[in-house]
Chains A and B, each alone.
Chain A
Amino acid sequence: EVQLVESGGGLVQPGGSLRLSCTASGFTFSSYWMHWVRQAPGKGLVWVSRIKSDVTSASYADSVKGRFTISRDNANDTLYLQMNSLRAEDTAVYYCARVGLTGGAFDIWGQGTMVTVSS
Chain B
Amino acid sequence: QSALTQPPSASGSPGQSVTISCTGTSSDVGGYNYVSWYQHHPGKAPKVMIYEVSKRPSGVPDRFSGSKSGNTASLTVSGLQAEDEADYYCYSYAGSNIWVFGGGTKLTVL
Most central of A46, A47, A105 by chain B CB within 10 Å = A105
- List A contacts of B101 (CB < 8 A): 37, 44-47
What are 25 of the A-B contact pairs (CB < 8 Å)?
A44-B102, A45-B89, A45-B91, A45-B101, A45-B104, A46-B101, A50-B97, A61-B98, A63-B1, A95-B46, A97-B46, A101-B36, A101-B51, A101-B57, A103-B33, A103-B36, A103-B51, A103-B53, A104-B34, A105-B34, A105-B36, A105-B52, A105-B91, A107-B57, A111-B45
Most central of A35, A37, A46, A103 by chain B CB within 10 Å = A103
| B51 closest partner in A (C-beta) | A105
Residues of A in contact with B, size category: 20 to 34
**Beta-carbon contacts under 8 Å, B1-50 to A:** 1, 3, 33-36, 38, 40, 44-48
The reply to whether B52 and A44 contact each other, CB–CB distance below 8 Å, is: no
The answer to the question of B64 belonging to the interface, with a C-beta cut-off of 8 Å to chain A, is no
The reply to whether A102 and B51 contact each other, CB–CB distance below 8 Å, is: yes
The reply to whether B104 and A44 contact each other, CB–CB distance below 8 Å, is: yes
The reply to whether B45 and A112 contact each other, CB–CB distance below 8 Å, is: yes
Total count of chain B residues near the partner, CB < 8 A: 31
Contacts A44-B89, A46-B101, A47-B91; is A61 near B1 (CB within 8 Å)? yes
- List B contacts of A62 (CB < 8 A): 1
Quote the shortest CB–CB distance from B44 to chain A (angstroms).
8
- List A contacts of B102 (CB < 8 A): 44
The answer to the question of B86 belonging to the interface, with a C-beta cut-off of 8 Å to chain A, is no
- List B contacts of A44 (CB < 8 A): 3, 87, 89, 101-104
Contacts A45-B89, A101-B51; is A95 near B45 (CB within 8 Å)? yes
The answer to the question of B100 belonging to the interface, with a C-beta cut-off of 8 Å to chain A, is yes
Contacts A61-B1, A62-B1; is A103 near B34 (CB within 8 Å)? yes
**Beta-carbon contacts under 8 Å, B88-107 to A:** 89, 91, 93, 96-104
